Amino acid sequence: MSAKRGGTRKNAKATATALDKLGIGPLLGLQPVNQGACTGKWISCAGGQELISVSPADGSPIAAVRQADEAAYEKVVAEAVAAFPAWRMTPAPARGEVVRDLGNELRAVKEPLGKLVSLEMGKILSEGLGEVQEMIDMCDFAVGLSRQLSGPTMASERPRHRMYEQWHPLGVVGIITAFNFPVAVWAWNAALAAVCGDTMVWKPSSDTPLTAIAVQNICNRVMERHNLSGIFNLVIGPGRTVGERMINDRRVPLVSFTGSTAMGRRVSQATATRFGRSILELGGNNAILVEPDADLDLTLRAVLFAAVGTAGQRCTSLRRLFLHKKIAKQFLARLVKAYGSITIGNPLEKGVLMGPLVNAAAVEDYLAALATARKQGGKILYGGGVVDRRGFFVEPAIVKLSSQVPIAREETFAPILYVMEYDDLEQAIAVHNSVDQGLSSAVFTSSMYSAEKFLSHEGSDCGIANVNIGTSGAEIGGAFGGEKETGGGREAGSDAWKAYMRRQTCTINWSSQLPLAQGVKFDV
Protein backbone atom coordinates (compact mmCIF):
# COMPACT_ATOMS: atom_id res chain seq x y z
CA MET A 1 0.00 0.00 0.00
CA SER A 2 1.30 3.41 -0.87
CA ALA A 3 -0.01 6.83 -0.10
CA LYS A 4 -0.15 9.47 -2.77
CA ARG A 5 2.96 11.45 -2.14
CA GLY A 6 3.89 14.79 -3.52
CA GLY A 7 4.90 18.25 -2.50
CA THR A 8 7.70 20.67 -3.13
CA ARG A 9 11.10 21.23 -1.71
CA LYS A 10 9.68 24.32 -0.02
CA ASN A 11 7.11 22.20 1.82
CA ALA A 12 9.77 19.75 2.94
CA LYS A 13 11.95 22.54 4.29
CA ALA A 14 9.06 24.20 6.05
CA THR A 15 8.14 21.08 7.89
CA ALA A 16 11.63 19.89 8.64
CA THR A 17 10.88 21.24 12.10
CA ALA A 18 9.19 17.90 12.88
CA LEU A 19 12.69 16.46 13.09
CA ASP A 20 13.97 19.55 14.88
CA LYS A 21 11.27 19.40 17.55
CA LEU A 22 12.25 15.84 18.36
CA GLY A 23 15.92 16.79 18.22
CA ILE A 24 16.77 13.84 15.99
CA GLY A 25 17.55 15.30 12.56
CA PRO A 26 21.24 16.20 13.16
CA LEU A 27 21.84 13.04 15.23
CA LEU A 28 20.75 10.87 12.31
CA GLY A 29 22.24 12.98 9.54
CA LEU A 30 18.89 13.92 8.00
CA GLN A 31 18.45 17.01 5.84
CA PRO A 32 15.33 18.78 4.50
CA VAL A 33 16.22 17.21 1.13
CA ASN A 34 18.22 13.97 1.06
CA GLN A 35 19.87 11.94 -1.70
CA GLY A 36 18.46 8.48 -2.37
CA ALA A 37 21.59 6.49 -3.27
CA CYS A 38 24.70 5.66 -1.28
CA THR A 39 27.67 3.27 -1.25
CA GLY A 40 29.43 4.79 1.72
CA LYS A 41 29.39 8.18 0.04
CA TRP A 42 26.14 9.77 -1.04
CA ILE A 43 25.50 9.87 -4.78
CA SER A 44 23.81 12.85 -6.39
CA CYS A 45 20.33 11.99 -7.66
CA ALA A 46 19.59 15.42 -9.07
CA GLY A 47 17.69 13.92 -11.97
CA GLY A 48 15.49 11.71 -9.80
CA GLN A 49 11.89 12.29 -8.74
CA GLU A 50 11.34 13.98 -5.39
CA LEU A 51 9.67 11.81 -2.75
CA ILE A 52 8.10 13.45 0.29
CA SER A 53 8.02 11.36 3.45
CA VAL A 54 4.74 11.98 5.29
CA SER A 55 3.94 11.47 8.97
CA PRO A 56 0.86 9.22 9.22
CA ALA A 57 -0.02 10.82 12.57
CA ASP A 58 -1.01 14.13 11.00
CA GLY A 59 -0.44 13.80 7.24
CA SER A 60 2.25 16.47 7.22
CA PRO A 61 5.51 16.15 5.27
CA ILE A 62 8.69 15.39 7.24
CA ALA A 63 11.48 15.70 4.68
CA ALA A 64 12.20 15.00 1.03
CA VAL A 65 14.30 12.43 -0.82
CA ARG A 66 15.73 12.70 -4.31
CA GLN A 67 15.06 9.21 -5.62
CA ALA A 68 17.63 7.19 -7.52
CA ASP A 69 17.37 7.01 -11.28
CA GLU A 70 18.77 4.27 -13.53
CA ALA A 71 22.25 5.78 -13.51
CA ALA A 72 22.37 5.96 -9.71
CA TYR A 73 21.18 2.34 -9.44
CA GLU A 74 24.00 1.24 -11.76
CA LYS A 75 26.58 3.11 -9.68
CA VAL A 76 25.37 1.47 -6.48
CA VAL A 77 25.28 -2.08 -7.83
CA ALA A 78 28.64 -1.67 -9.57
CA GLU A 79 30.20 -0.57 -6.27
CA ALA A 80 28.64 -3.52 -4.42
CA VAL A 81 29.99 -5.91 -7.06
CA ALA A 82 33.46 -4.31 -6.90
CA ALA A 83 33.59 -4.54 -3.09
CA PHE A 84 32.64 -8.23 -2.96
CA PRO A 85 35.97 -9.93 -3.88
CA ALA A 86 37.92 -8.28 -1.04
CA TRP A 87 35.06 -8.57 1.45
CA ARG A 88 34.60 -12.32 0.87
CA MET A 89 38.30 -12.86 1.57
CA THR A 90 38.11 -10.97 4.85
CA PRO A 91 38.04 -13.61 7.61
CA ALA A 92 34.53 -14.15 8.88
CA PRO A 93 35.39 -13.18 12.49
CA ALA A 94 36.83 -9.91 11.15
CA ARG A 95 33.59 -9.33 9.26
CA GLY A 96 31.87 -10.01 12.56
CA GLU A 97 33.84 -7.19 14.17
CA VAL A 98 32.42 -4.78 11.60
CA VAL A 99 28.91 -5.96 12.49
CA ARG A 100 29.76 -5.63 16.20
CA ASP A 101 30.71 -2.00 15.52
CA LEU A 102 27.41 -1.51 13.70
CA GLY A 103 25.53 -2.82 16.73
CA ASN A 104 27.40 -0.41 19.01
CA GLU A 105 26.58 2.52 16.72
CA LEU A 106 22.92 1.51 16.87
CA ARG A 107 23.08 1.44 20.67
CA ALA A 108 24.32 5.03 20.65
CA VAL A 109 21.36 6.24 18.56
CA LYS A 110 18.65 3.88 19.80
CA GLU A 111 16.39 6.65 21.12
CA PRO A 112 16.52 9.05 18.13
CA LEU A 113 16.23 6.23 15.60
CA GLY A 114 13.32 4.69 17.53
CA LYS A 115 11.59 8.09 17.52
CA LEU A 116 12.13 8.39 13.78
CA VAL A 117 10.54 4.96 13.22
CA SER A 118 7.49 6.12 15.19
CA LEU A 119 7.33 9.46 13.40
CA GLU A 120 7.61 8.07 9.88
CA MET A 121 5.82 4.71 10.20
CA GLY A 122 3.31 5.42 12.98
CA LYS A 123 3.98 2.64 15.51
CA ILE A 124 4.06 3.68 19.16
CA LEU A 125 7.37 4.74 20.67
CA SER A 126 7.97 1.57 22.71
CA GLU A 127 7.59 -0.43 19.49
CA GLY A 128 9.88 1.96 17.63
CA LEU A 129 12.53 1.58 20.32
CA GLY A 130 11.91 -2.17 20.36
CA GLU A 131 12.55 -2.35 16.63
CA VAL A 132 15.95 -0.69 17.06
CA GLN A 133 16.70 -3.09 19.91
CA GLU A 134 15.88 -5.90 17.50
CA MET A 135 18.54 -4.52 15.15
CA ILE A 136 21.05 -4.50 18.00
CA ASP A 137 20.14 -8.05 19.01
CA MET A 138 20.50 -9.18 15.41
CA CYS A 139 24.00 -7.72 15.25
CA ASP A 140 24.94 -9.55 18.48
CA PHE A 141 23.59 -12.80 17.03
CA ALA A 142 25.51 -12.33 13.79
CA VAL A 143 28.77 -11.58 15.61
CA GLY A 144 28.57 -14.95 17.35
CA LEU A 145 27.59 -16.62 14.10
CA SER A 146 30.70 -15.24 12.37
CA ARG A 147 32.74 -17.91 14.19
CA GLN A 148 30.28 -20.73 13.45
CA LEU A 149 29.86 -20.77 9.66
CA SER A 150 30.74 -24.43 9.58
CA GLY A 151 29.76 -27.52 7.64
CA PRO A 152 29.80 -31.20 8.65
CA THR A 153 32.39 -33.85 7.85
CA MET A 154 30.66 -36.91 6.43
CA ALA A 155 31.70 -40.55 6.27
CA SER A 156 32.85 -41.64 2.82
CA GLU A 157 32.20 -45.18 1.58
CA ARG A 158 35.61 -45.09 -0.08
CA PRO A 159 38.66 -45.93 2.05
CA ARG A 160 41.12 -43.14 2.85
CA HIS A 161 38.73 -40.50 1.62
CA ARG A 162 37.33 -37.56 3.54
CA MET A 163 34.09 -35.85 2.54
CA TYR A 164 32.95 -32.56 3.98
CA GLU A 165 30.68 -29.58 3.32
CA GLN A 166 31.69 -25.94 3.31
CA TRP A 167 29.94 -22.64 2.71
CA HIS A 168 31.18 -19.74 0.59
CA PRO A 169 29.99 -16.12 0.26
CA LEU A 170 27.32 -15.73 -2.39
CA GLY A 171 27.72 -12.21 -3.79
CA VAL A 172 25.50 -9.13 -3.83
CA VAL A 173 22.27 -9.51 -1.85
CA GLY A 174 19.28 -7.37 -2.77
CA ILE A 175 17.14 -6.44 0.26
CA ILE A 176 13.63 -5.10 -0.35
CA THR A 177 11.79 -4.17 2.84
CA ALA A 178 8.26 -3.08 3.78
CA PHE A 179 7.00 -0.05 5.70
CA ASN A 180 5.80 -1.86 8.82
CA PHE A 181 9.27 -2.84 10.04
CA PRO A 182 11.35 -0.23 8.26
CA VAL A 183 14.69 -1.05 9.92
CA ALA A 184 14.53 -4.39 11.78
CA VAL A 185 13.94 -6.55 8.70
CA TRP A 186 16.89 -4.87 6.99
CA ALA A 187 19.04 -5.83 9.98
CA TRP A 188 17.84 -9.44 9.84
CA ASN A 189 19.21 -9.64 6.33
CA ALA A 190 22.13 -7.23 6.45
CA ALA A 191 23.80 -8.56 9.60
CA LEU A 192 23.69 -12.13 8.30
CA ALA A 193 24.74 -11.19 4.77
CA ALA A 194 27.68 -9.17 6.10
CA VAL A 195 29.15 -11.91 8.29
CA CYS A 196 28.55 -14.41 5.47
CA GLY A 197 30.84 -12.31 3.26
CA ASP A 198 28.19 -10.74 1.01
CA THR A 199 27.72 -7.13 0.03
CA MET A 200 24.19 -5.80 -0.20
CA VAL A 201 21.90 -3.25 -1.82
CA TRP A 202 18.87 -2.09 0.15
CA LYS A 203 15.64 -0.84 -1.42
CA PRO A 204 13.35 0.36 1.39
CA SER A 205 9.64 1.11 1.22
CA SER A 206 8.72 4.46 -0.33
CA ASP A 207 6.58 5.04 2.78
CA THR A 208 9.62 5.02 5.08
CA PRO A 209 12.69 6.34 3.22
CA LEU A 210 14.03 8.53 6.03
CA THR A 211 14.60 5.64 8.43
CA ALA A 212 16.65 3.97 5.69
CA ILE A 213 18.73 7.10 5.14
CA ALA A 214 19.38 7.34 8.89
CA VAL A 215 20.54 3.70 9.01
CA GLN A 216 22.73 4.23 5.95
CA ASN A 217 24.41 7.18 7.67
CA ILE A 218 25.20 4.86 10.59
CA CYS A 219 26.59 2.25 8.18
CA ASN A 220 28.70 4.94 6.49
CA ARG A 221 30.40 5.78 9.79
CA VAL A 222 31.14 2.12 10.43
CA MET A 223 32.49 1.52 6.93
CA GLU A 224 34.69 4.61 7.09
CA ARG A 225 36.13 3.50 10.43
CA HIS A 226 37.09 0.15 8.89
CA ASN A 227 38.32 1.59 5.58
CA LEU A 228 35.47 -0.04 3.69
CA SER A 229 32.96 1.02 1.06
CA GLY A 230 30.32 -0.73 -0.96
CA ILE A 231 29.42 -3.27 1.75
CA PHE A 232 26.19 -1.65 2.98
CA ASN A 233 24.52 0.19 0.10
CA LEU A 234 21.22 2.02 -0.33
CA VAL A 235 19.05 2.85 -3.31
CA ILE A 236 15.67 4.56 -2.86
CA GLY A 237 13.44 4.65 -5.90
CA PRO A 238 10.19 3.54 -7.50
CA GLY A 239 9.59 -0.15 -8.04
CA ARG A 240 9.56 0.30 -11.80
CA THR A 241 12.99 1.97 -11.69
CA VAL A 242 14.82 0.21 -8.89
CA GLY A 243 12.79 -2.84 -7.86
CA GLU A 244 12.36 -4.26 -11.36
CA ARG A 245 16.04 -3.78 -12.13
CA MET A 246 17.08 -5.46 -8.92
CA ILE A 247 14.94 -8.57 -9.29
CA ASN A 248 16.10 -9.02 -12.90
CA ASP A 249 19.77 -8.17 -12.25
CA ARG A 250 22.07 -11.18 -12.80
CA ARG A 251 24.69 -9.43 -10.63
CA VAL A 252 22.35 -9.92 -7.65
CA PRO A 253 22.21 -13.69 -6.99
CA LEU A 254 19.83 -13.36 -4.02
CA VAL A 255 16.86 -11.06 -3.46
CA SER A 256 15.24 -10.97 -0.03
CA PHE A 257 11.75 -9.53 -0.38
CA THR A 258 9.27 -8.57 2.33
CA GLY A 259 5.85 -7.41 1.16
CA SER A 260 2.63 -8.49 -0.50
CA THR A 261 1.97 -11.95 -1.86
CA ALA A 262 1.25 -10.53 -5.31
CA MET A 263 4.60 -8.74 -5.49
CA GLY A 264 6.34 -11.73 -3.92
CA ARG A 265 5.05 -13.87 -6.77
CA ARG A 266 6.56 -11.38 -9.22
CA VAL A 267 9.92 -11.45 -7.40
CA SER A 268 9.93 -15.24 -7.30
CA GLN A 269 9.20 -15.54 -11.02
CA ALA A 270 11.78 -12.95 -12.05
CA THR A 271 14.61 -14.38 -9.97
CA ALA A 272 13.78 -17.97 -10.95
CA THR A 273 13.84 -17.06 -14.64
CA ARG A 274 17.49 -16.08 -14.29
CA PHE A 275 18.21 -18.96 -11.86
CA GLY A 276 18.68 -16.55 -8.99
CA ARG A 277 17.44 -17.09 -5.45
CA SER A 278 14.78 -15.38 -3.39
CA ILE A 279 13.84 -15.20 0.27
CA LEU A 280 10.16 -14.36 0.50
CA GLU A 281 8.38 -13.00 3.59
CA LEU A 282 4.83 -12.38 2.39
CA GLY A 283 1.29 -12.27 3.73
CA GLY A 284 0.04 -13.71 7.01
CA ASN A 285 -3.48 -14.55 8.12
CA ASN A 286 -2.62 -15.51 11.65
CA ALA A 287 -4.91 -17.17 14.17
CA ILE A 288 -5.24 -18.06 17.83
CA LEU A 289 -7.28 -21.01 19.10
CA VAL A 290 -8.59 -20.73 22.66
CA GLU A 291 -9.45 -23.97 24.44
CA PRO A 292 -11.91 -24.21 27.40
CA ASP A 293 -9.04 -24.77 29.86
CA ALA A 294 -7.07 -21.70 28.76
CA ASP A 295 -5.90 -19.03 31.19
CA LEU A 296 -8.24 -16.28 29.97
CA ASP A 297 -6.33 -13.45 31.67
CA LEU A 298 -3.19 -14.49 29.82
CA THR A 299 -5.13 -15.01 26.60
CA LEU A 300 -6.71 -11.56 26.79
CA ARG A 301 -3.37 -9.78 27.06
CA ALA A 302 -1.94 -11.81 24.19
CA VAL A 303 -4.93 -11.20 21.91
CA LEU A 304 -4.90 -7.45 22.58
CA PHE A 305 -1.29 -6.93 21.56
CA ALA A 306 -1.42 -9.37 18.65
CA ALA A 307 -4.53 -7.77 17.16
CA VAL A 308 -4.06 -4.09 18.04
CA GLY A 309 -0.27 -3.66 18.28
CA THR A 310 1.25 -1.69 15.40
CA ALA A 311 -2.37 -0.89 14.45
CA GLY A 312 -2.70 -4.39 13.02
CA GLN A 313 0.09 -3.76 10.51
CA ARG A 314 2.40 -6.62 11.41
CA CYS A 315 2.71 -9.59 9.12
CA THR A 316 2.22 -11.57 12.35
CA SER A 317 -0.80 -9.56 13.53
CA LEU A 318 -3.73 -11.61 14.79
CA ARG A 319 -6.48 -11.71 12.14
CA ARG A 320 -8.62 -14.69 13.21
CA LEU A 321 -9.65 -15.72 16.73
CA PHE A 322 -11.23 -19.14 17.25
CA LEU A 323 -13.01 -19.47 20.61
CA HIS A 324 -14.31 -22.72 22.05
CA LYS A 325 -18.06 -22.40 22.58
CA LYS A 326 -17.73 -23.04 26.32
CA ILE A 327 -15.78 -19.81 26.89
CA ALA A 328 -16.71 -17.73 23.83
CA LYS A 329 -19.42 -15.53 25.37
CA GLN A 330 -17.40 -14.82 28.51
CA PHE A 331 -14.20 -14.06 26.66
CA LEU A 332 -15.82 -11.89 24.00
CA ALA A 333 -17.43 -9.70 26.67
CA ARG A 334 -14.02 -9.16 28.26
CA LEU A 335 -12.38 -8.53 24.90
CA VAL A 336 -14.89 -5.87 23.86
CA LYS A 337 -14.43 -4.11 27.19
CA ALA A 338 -10.64 -4.24 26.82
CA TYR A 339 -10.84 -2.77 23.31
CA GLY A 340 -12.65 0.18 24.82
CA SER A 341 -9.59 0.95 26.95
CA ILE A 342 -7.18 1.20 24.00
CA THR A 343 -5.79 4.72 23.74
CA ILE A 344 -5.49 5.89 20.12
CA GLY A 345 -3.36 8.89 19.26
CA ASN A 346 0.03 10.33 18.41
CA PRO A 347 2.42 7.36 18.60
CA LEU A 348 5.10 9.50 20.20
CA GLU A 349 2.89 10.46 23.15
CA LYS A 350 3.11 8.59 26.44
CA GLY A 351 0.25 6.21 27.17
CA VAL A 352 -0.84 5.76 23.54
CA LEU A 353 -1.28 2.09 22.61
CA MET A 354 -2.32 2.40 18.98
CA GLY A 355 -1.08 4.84 16.38
CA PRO A 356 -2.30 5.50 12.83
CA LEU A 357 -2.38 3.38 9.73
CA VAL A 358 0.45 4.12 7.34
CA ASN A 359 -1.49 6.11 4.74
CA ALA A 360 -4.87 7.01 3.28
CA ALA A 361 -4.96 3.90 1.08
CA ALA A 362 -4.70 1.73 4.18
CA VAL A 363 -7.72 3.48 5.67
CA GLU A 364 -9.70 2.78 2.51
CA ASP A 365 -8.68 -0.90 2.63
CA TYR A 366 -9.84 -1.07 6.24
CA LEU A 367 -13.26 0.40 5.42
CA ALA A 368 -13.68 -1.79 2.36
CA ALA A 369 -12.88 -4.97 4.33
CA LEU A 370 -15.45 -4.11 7.01
CA ALA A 371 -18.10 -3.35 4.39
CA THR A 372 -17.42 -6.73 2.79
CA ALA A 373 -17.55 -8.45 6.18
CA ARG A 374 -21.01 -6.97 6.81
CA LYS A 375 -22.23 -8.18 3.40
CA GLN A 376 -20.92 -11.67 4.21
CA GLY A 377 -22.88 -11.86 7.45
CA GLY A 378 -20.37 -10.40 9.90
CA LYS A 379 -21.54 -8.50 12.97
CA ILE A 380 -19.29 -5.68 14.19
CA LEU A 381 -19.03 -5.92 17.97
CA TYR A 382 -16.59 -3.04 18.37
CA GLY A 383 -15.12 -0.24 16.26
CA GLY A 384 -15.35 -0.01 12.54
CA GLY A 385 -15.01 3.74 12.08
CA VAL A 386 -12.44 6.37 11.21
CA VAL A 387 -11.21 8.52 14.09
CA ASP A 388 -12.11 12.18 13.60
CA ARG A 389 -8.68 13.78 13.72
CA ARG A 390 -5.79 14.59 11.42
CA GLY A 391 -3.80 11.64 10.18
CA PHE A 392 -4.80 8.11 9.25
CA PHE A 393 -6.45 6.86 12.43
CA VAL A 394 -9.11 4.15 12.66
CA GLU A 395 -10.82 2.25 15.46
CA PRO A 396 -9.71 -1.32 16.11
CA ALA A 397 -12.56 -3.58 15.05
CA ILE A 398 -13.98 -6.89 16.30
CA VAL A 399 -16.17 -8.76 13.82
CA LYS A 400 -18.18 -11.81 14.86
CA LEU A 401 -18.60 -14.45 12.15
CA SER A 402 -20.67 -17.62 12.10
CA SER A 403 -18.11 -19.26 9.81
CA GLN A 404 -14.90 -18.48 7.98
CA VAL A 405 -16.39 -16.37 5.17
CA PRO A 406 -14.22 -15.27 2.19
CA ILE A 407 -13.10 -11.94 3.70
CA ALA A 408 -11.67 -13.79 6.71
CA ARG A 409 -9.53 -15.84 4.33
CA GLU A 410 -7.77 -12.68 3.15
CA GLU A 411 -5.18 -10.51 4.86
CA THR A 412 -6.20 -6.91 5.45
CA PHE A 413 -3.33 -4.86 6.86
CA ALA A 414 -5.44 -3.16 9.52
CA PRO A 415 -6.69 -3.76 13.09
CA ILE A 416 -9.62 -6.03 12.16
CA LEU A 417 -10.17 -9.18 14.22
CA TYR A 418 -12.52 -11.88 12.93
CA VAL A 419 -13.96 -14.04 15.75
CA MET A 420 -15.45 -17.52 15.25
CA GLU A 421 -16.58 -20.28 17.60
CA TYR A 422 -15.81 -24.00 17.50
CA ASP A 423 -16.76 -27.25 19.27
CA ASP A 424 -13.81 -29.53 18.53
CA LEU A 425 -10.07 -28.79 18.45
CA GLU A 426 -9.41 -31.01 15.45
CA GLN A 427 -12.14 -29.26 13.49
CA ALA A 428 -10.79 -25.84 14.52
CA ILE A 429 -7.28 -26.77 13.36
CA ALA A 430 -8.68 -27.86 10.00
CA VAL A 431 -10.46 -24.51 9.51
CA HIS A 432 -7.37 -22.68 10.74
CA ASN A 433 -5.21 -24.46 8.14
CA SER A 434 -7.63 -23.97 5.26
CA VAL A 435 -6.43 -20.47 4.32
CA ASP A 436 -3.71 -19.75 1.75
CA GLN A 437 -1.32 -18.13 4.23
CA GLY A 438 0.84 -19.94 6.77
CA LEU A 439 2.93 -17.58 8.88
CA SER A 440 2.08 -17.51 12.61
CA SER A 441 -0.34 -19.36 14.89
CA ALA A 442 -1.00 -20.08 18.55
CA VAL A 443 -3.14 -22.14 20.88
CA PHE A 444 -4.03 -21.21 24.45
CA THR A 445 -4.56 -24.23 26.66
CA SER A 446 -3.52 -25.91 29.92
CA SER A 447 -3.76 -29.34 28.30
CA MET A 448 -0.61 -31.09 27.17
CA TYR A 449 -2.78 -33.08 24.77
CA SER A 450 -4.13 -29.96 23.07
CA ALA A 451 -0.73 -28.25 22.96
CA GLU A 452 1.06 -31.25 21.50
CA LYS A 453 -1.70 -31.87 18.96
CA PHE A 454 -1.44 -28.27 17.78
CA LEU A 455 2.35 -28.63 17.36
CA SER A 456 2.20 -32.07 15.73
CA HIS A 457 2.25 -33.14 12.08
CA GLU A 458 -1.55 -32.86 12.05
CA GLY A 459 -1.55 -29.51 13.84
CA SER A 460 -0.80 -25.99 12.67
CA ASP A 461 0.64 -25.74 9.16
CA CYS A 462 2.36 -22.41 9.87
CA GLY A 463 6.05 -21.61 10.02
CA ILE A 464 5.52 -20.33 13.58
CA ALA A 465 3.40 -22.24 16.11
CA ASN A 466 3.12 -21.08 19.72
CA VAL A 467 1.53 -22.29 22.93
CA ASN A 468 0.21 -19.71 25.41
CA ILE A 469 1.84 -16.74 23.69
CA GLY A 470 0.46 -14.62 20.88
CA THR A 471 1.22 -14.61 17.18
CA SER A 472 3.29 -11.41 17.23
CA GLY A 473 6.87 -10.99 18.24
CA ALA A 474 9.82 -12.77 16.69
CA GLU A 475 12.87 -13.72 18.69
CA ILE A 476 16.21 -13.46 16.98
CA GLY A 477 17.37 -16.97 17.86
CA GLY A 478 14.58 -18.62 15.86
CA ALA A 479 14.18 -18.64 12.11
CA PHE A 480 11.37 -16.32 11.04
CA GLY A 481 9.08 -17.15 8.13
CA GLY A 482 6.07 -19.10 6.95
CA GLU A 483 4.64 -21.60 4.51
CA LYS A 484 2.25 -21.56 1.52
CA GLU A 485 1.59 -18.04 0.20
CA THR A 486 3.74 -16.62 3.00
CA GLY A 487 6.58 -17.60 0.71
CA GLY A 488 8.58 -20.25 2.54
CA GLY A 489 11.53 -17.99 3.33
CA ARG A 490 13.43 -17.94 6.62
CA GLU A 491 15.34 -15.02 8.12
CA ALA A 492 17.19 -14.06 11.30
CA GLY A 493 17.89 -17.09 13.52
CA SER A 494 18.66 -20.80 13.46
CA ASP A 495 20.36 -21.76 10.16
CA ALA A 496 18.81 -18.94 8.11
CA TRP A 497 22.40 -17.83 7.35
CA LYS A 498 22.72 -20.66 4.83
CA ALA A 499 20.44 -18.79 2.39
CA TYR A 500 23.12 -16.10 2.05
CA MET A 501 25.89 -18.53 1.09
CA ARG A 502 26.60 -21.20 -1.51
CA ARG A 503 27.12 -24.78 -0.45
CA GLN A 504 30.03 -26.86 -1.64
CA THR A 505 30.63 -30.58 -1.03
CA CYS A 506 34.29 -31.57 -1.07
CA THR A 507 35.94 -35.00 -1.21
CA ILE A 508 39.67 -35.52 -0.54
CA ASN A 509 41.46 -38.73 -1.51
CA TRP A 510 44.52 -39.21 0.69
CA SER A 511 45.44 -42.64 -0.72
CA SER A 512 47.24 -43.83 -3.85
CA GLN A 513 44.15 -45.76 -4.95
CA LEU A 514 41.08 -44.57 -6.85
CA PRO A 515 38.10 -46.60 -5.63
CA LEU A 516 34.76 -45.62 -7.18
CA ALA A 517 31.52 -45.24 -5.29
CA GLN A 518 28.70 -47.78 -5.39
CA GLY A 519 31.18 -50.55 -6.26
CA VAL A 520 31.67 -49.38 -9.85
CA LYS A 521 34.68 -50.95 -11.61
CA PHE A 522 36.46 -49.09 -14.39
CA ASP A 523 39.89 -50.68 -14.70
CA VAL A 524 42.01 -49.88 -17.74
How confident is residue 241, by pLDDT bands cut at 50, 70 and 90?
confident
Q: What is the pLDDT of residues 346-380, one digit of tens each?
A: 999 999 999 999 999 999 999 999 999 999 999 99
How confident is residue 18, by pLDDT bands cut at 50, 70 and 90?
confident
Q: What is the mean pLDDT of residues 75-98?
A: 98
Q: What is the pLDDT of residue 38?
A: 98
Q: What is the pLDDT of residues 443-456, one digit of tens each?
A: 999 999 999 999 99
Q: What is the pLDDT of residue 5?
A: 41
Q: What is the mean pLDDT of residues 109-120?
A: 98
Q: What is the mean pLDDT of residues 71-80?
A: 97
- What dihedral angle (degrees, nearest 10) is formed by the CA atoms of 258, 226, 35, 355? 50
Q: What is the mean pLDDT of residues 216-228?
A: 98
Q: Which of 105, 120, 281, 491 is catalytic?
A: 281
What single DSSP character describes residue 243? Answer: I
Cβ–Cβ under 8 Å, residues 347 and 118: yes
Between 441 and 1, whose confidence is greater?
Answer: 441
Is residue 281 annotated as part of the catalytic site, yes or no? Answer: yes
Q: What is the pLDDT of residue 52?
A: 96
C-alpha distances out from residue 57 to 4, 208, 374, 515, Å: 15, 14, 28, 71
Q: Taking the mean position of all CA atoms in its chain, how far away is CA 435?
A: 21
The CA radius of gyration of the chain, in Å to the nearest whole number, is: 24
Nearest 5°: CA angle at 346, between 345 and 347? 105
Q: What is the mean pLDDT of residues 278-283?
A: 97
How confident is residue 524, by pLDDT bands cut at 50, 70 and 90?
confident
Is residue 315 annotated as part of the catalytic site, yes or no? Answer: yes
Q: What is the pLDDT of residue 446?
A: 98
Spell out the alpha helix ranges (H) of 70-109: 70-88, 92-108
Q: What is the mean pLDDT of residues 278-304?
A: 98
Q: Which of 315, 395, 485, 491 is catalytic?
A: 315
Residue 1 has pLDDT above 50, yes or no: no
pTM of the entire predicted model: 0.95
Residue 235 has pLDDT above 80, yes or no: yes
What is the C-alpha separation between 116 and 100, in angstroms, rounded?
Answer: 23
Between 18 and 507, whose confidence is greater?
Answer: 507
Q: What is the pLDDT of residue 11?
A: 52
Q: What is the pLDDT of residues 310-338, one digit of tens each?
A: 999 999 999 999 999 999 999 999 999 99
Residue 7 has pLDDT above 70, yes or no: no
What is the C-alpha separation between 258 and 109, in angstroms, rounded?
Answer: 25
Q: What is the pLDDT of residue 472?
A: 87
Three-state SS string across 464-493, please? EEEECCCCCCCCCCCEECCEECCCCCCEEC
Q: Give strand ranges (E) for 286-373.
A: 286-290, 318-324
Residue 17 has pLDDT above 60, yes or no: yes
Q: What is the pLDDT of residues 188-206, one digit of tens each?
A: 999 999 999 999 999 999 9
Q: What is the pLDDT of residue 3?
A: 35
Q: What is the pLDDT of residue 411?
A: 97
For the chain, give the mean pLDDT: 95
Q: SS3 of 422, please?
A: strand
Query: Which residue segments constitute the domains of the chain, with CATH numbers given?
Result: 9-282+491-502 (3.40.605.10), 286-482 (3.40.309.10)
